[in-house]
Amino acid sequence: MLYVTENYARGMAQKKRIASPRVVARLILYRRLLREMSSRGIGCIFSHQLAKRANVTPDQLRRDLMNIGSPGSPSRGYRVKDLEARIEDYLAAAGPQRTALAGLGDLGRVLLKHASSCGGSLRIVAALDEEPNFMESHLDGCPCFHLDETAQVVERFDIEAAIIAVPGVLAQSVANRFIEAGVQSLLNFSDSRLRVPPDVFVDHMDIDISLETFAFFARQHAPLKS
Amino acid sequence: MLYVTENYARGMAQKKRIASPRVVARLILYRRLLREMSSRGIGCIFSHQLAKRANVTPDQLRRDLMNIGSPGSPSRGYRVKDLEARIEDYLAAAGPQRTALAGLGDLGRVLLKHASSCGGSLRIVAALDEEPNFMESHLDGCPCFHLDETAQVVERFDIEAAIIAVPGVLAQSVANRFIEAGVQSLLNFSDSRLRVPPDVFVDHMDIDISLETFAFFARQHAPLKS
């Protein structure tokens, strides 16, 4: 679950009138669904059909698409390729982010594979770890370095963003290294909350909290049936 | 990012007046922070202090705590142990969910470790996979079975919920097996949207979408500085 810093998102929305994180996440989902339809030769779709596949209400879908000035009309339907292109324009205008991954444990390796297969808006160009036994020169095509080399790696690879997948006790010190090296955007997968200067963008993606939130709603669900 | 089925959450909220998924996720975070404070001997905390650690506004924190009828006063502060106990009561009233994990690839193994360490509201009691080379009798203390044995495993281990961490192309058929065996709550980590009967609770946790959402906001961030 992503928690975008509230003040940050508000400030950004005022300056650039961009959508909220939840809208952006849904747009990414719509784009994926439209790509699938496009590859299966589907030319046209009505909003209620796309809404059903995305598991949102048709109203929600239409509001999301209005946010980005979508082509097509809700009553006549959307051309799949046009809508896909419009969402792509909105999402990927500035090209892929050059990203470093810190932490090559199980989770880090999963993220490395996901990032290399998830469509290219985020490109992990260097990986860092502190355990010598995880150090290989390349992993899934990505060059690997020791965390002590963070500053040099940021400069050499022109790193703009970093993903933190180290244990919670290390997360803050790793974040500090990136920030000192000039990285302005951090995605934190550890279970520690990071403290960062106000001009740094940080997002938290906490698997434990996702699992526990699911457990809570699953528990509520069972008694509902009776 | 978790997407709770909208109609489901609305229906449940009407019936039981429970909090939204985002509130629940924040309560889980507050509980974790309070546990840390408690273990460090901190006896009392003001709402603005806890809010700062959780990266939410003080207003947001007070509204969340009002949802669960929290003890203590915003002006005098909260007793850490009392507040922790109240949140615990709210979150864990019905005991741990007996959960099966489908998929023992890299992501499945990460989830197995997280679930066993994340505090116990979700307990993975059996794991399933279809690849014979992943089949071991036990993994991290959890018994492993072939996906063909889904129905027997659900009955034998009294499974209430399932986590799906298989590749997207397999996700729907695996979900169908669980549903046919009577499992009513699914957490889907694959990149396929599941279609389920209206009485089944499904939540999607899509790492690709989380990575791409982060990439979008990280891209927006850089030009903001200039």
Q: Residue A225's pLDDT is what?
A: 42
pLDDT band at A20 (very low <50, low <70, confident <90, very high): confident
- Chain A touched by B17 (CB under 8 Å): no
Q: Residue A40's pLDDT is what?
A: 92
Q: Enter the DSSP assignment of B202.
A: E
The number of distinct structural domains making up chain B is: 2
Q: Residue B92's pLDDT is what?
A: 74
Structure tokens at B43: 């006896």
Measured between alpha carbons, how far is A164 from A147 in angstroms, rounded to an integer? 11
Average confidence (pLDDT) over A139-168:
93
Q: Show residues of chain B in contact with A104, CB under 8 Å.
A: none
CA A175 to chain centre: 18
pLDDT band at A222 (very low <50, low <70, confident <90, very high): low
Q: Please, what sign has the CA dihedral across residues B20, B215, A25, A129?
A: negative
Measured between alpha carbons, how far is A179 from A197 in angstroms, rounded to an integer? 9
Same domain, A108 and A55: no
- Chain B touched by A187 (CB under 8 Å): yes
Q: Residue B175's pLDDT is what?
A: 97
Where is mean pLDDT largest: A112-126, A148-162, B192-206?
A148-162
**Residue A22 within any structural domain of the chain:** yes
Q: Residue B15's pLDDT is what?
A: 46
Q: Residue A135's pLDDT is what?
A: 65
Measured between alpha carbons, how far is B156 from B165 in angstroms, rounded to an integer? 21
Q: Show residues of chain B in contact with A18, CB under 8 Å.
A: 220
Q: How many CB atoms lie within 10 A of CB B141?
A: 8
Place of tokens 């001009």: A199
- Interface predicted TM-score (ipTM): 0.80
**Residue B217 within any structural domain of the chain:** no
Same domain, A142 and A205: yes
- Chain A touched by B23 (CB under 8 Å): no
State the smallest CA–CA distance between residue B33 and chain A in angstroms. 9
- Chain B touched by A18 (CB under 8 Å): yes
Same domain, A86 and A119: no
Same domain, B56 and B118: no
- If one compares B101 and A75, the residue with the highest pLDDT of the two is B101
Q: Residue B141's pLDDT is what?
A: 85
Decide which of A92, A119, A140 is a domain's last residue.
Answer: A92
Closest Cα in chain B to A18: B220
Same domain, A146 and A181: yes
Residue contact B106–A110, C-beta within 8 A? yes
Measured between alpha carbons, how far is B126 from B124 in angstroms, rounded to an integer? 6
Domain holding B161, by residue range, is: 97-210
Look at chain B and count its residues.
226
**Residue A162 within any structural domain of the chain:** yes
Residue contact A99–B212, C-beta within 8 A? no
Same domain, B122 and B173: yes
Same domain, A169 and A74: no
**Residue A187 within any structural domain of the chain:** yes
Same domain, B59 and B148: no
- Chain B touched by A17 (CB under 8 Å): no
Check which CATH number belongs to the domain holding A141 and give it. 3.40.50.720
Decide which of B59, B76, B91 is a domain's last residue.
Answer: B91
Average confidence (pLDDT) over A185-214:
89
State the smallest CA–CA distance between residue A147 and chain B in angstroms. 22
Q: How many CB atoms lie within 10 A of CB B54?
A: 18
Q: Residue B118's pLDDT is what?
A: 62
- Chain A touched by B146 (CB under 8 Å): no
Q: Residue A174's pLDDT is what?
A: 97
**Residue A74 within any structural domain of the chain:** yes
Contact A92, A24 (CB under 8 A): no
**Residue B203 within any structural domain of the chain:** yes
Q: Residue B70's pLDDT is what?
A: 74
- Chain B touched by A99 (CB under 8 Å): yes
Same domain, A67 and A167: no
Same domain, B65 and B119: no
Same domain, A127 and A151: yes
Q: Residue A18's pLDDT is what?
A: 67
Measured between alpha carbons, how far is B202 from B153 in angstroms, rounded to an integer? 20
Residue A5 has pLDDT above 80, yes or no: no
Contact B140, B113 (CB under 8 A): yes
Q: Show residues of chain A in contact with B96, CB under 8 Å.
A: 215
Q: Residue A97's pLDDT is what?
A: 85
Check which CATH number belongs to the domain holding A82 and give it. 1.10.10.10
Decide which of A34, A63, A92 is a domain's last residue.
Answer: A92
Residue contact A216–B55, C-beta within 8 A? no
A:43-82 residues touching chain B, CB 8 A cutoff = 53-57, 60
Q: Residue B111's pLDDT is what?
A: 93
State the smallest CA–CA distance between residue A88 and chain B in angstroms. 11
- Chain A touched by B180 (CB under 8 Å): no
Give per-10-residue mean pLDDT for chain B (226 aa): 47 57 88 92 91 90 85 76 89 79 92 78 90 74 93 95 94 97 94 89 87 84 52
3-state secondary structure B83-136: HHHHHHHHHHCCCCEEEEEECCCHHHHHHHHHHHHCCCCEEEEEEEECCHHHCC
Residue contact A54–B122, C-beta within 8 A? no
Same domain, A142 and A72: no
**Residue B224 within any structural domain of the chain:** no
DSSP count for chain A of H helices, then E strands: 9, 10
Q: Please, what sign has the CA dihedral across residues B84, B89, B92, B95?
A: positive
**Residue A37 within any structural domain of the chain:** yes
Name the phi and psi angles at B147, rounded to 5. Answer: -55, -25
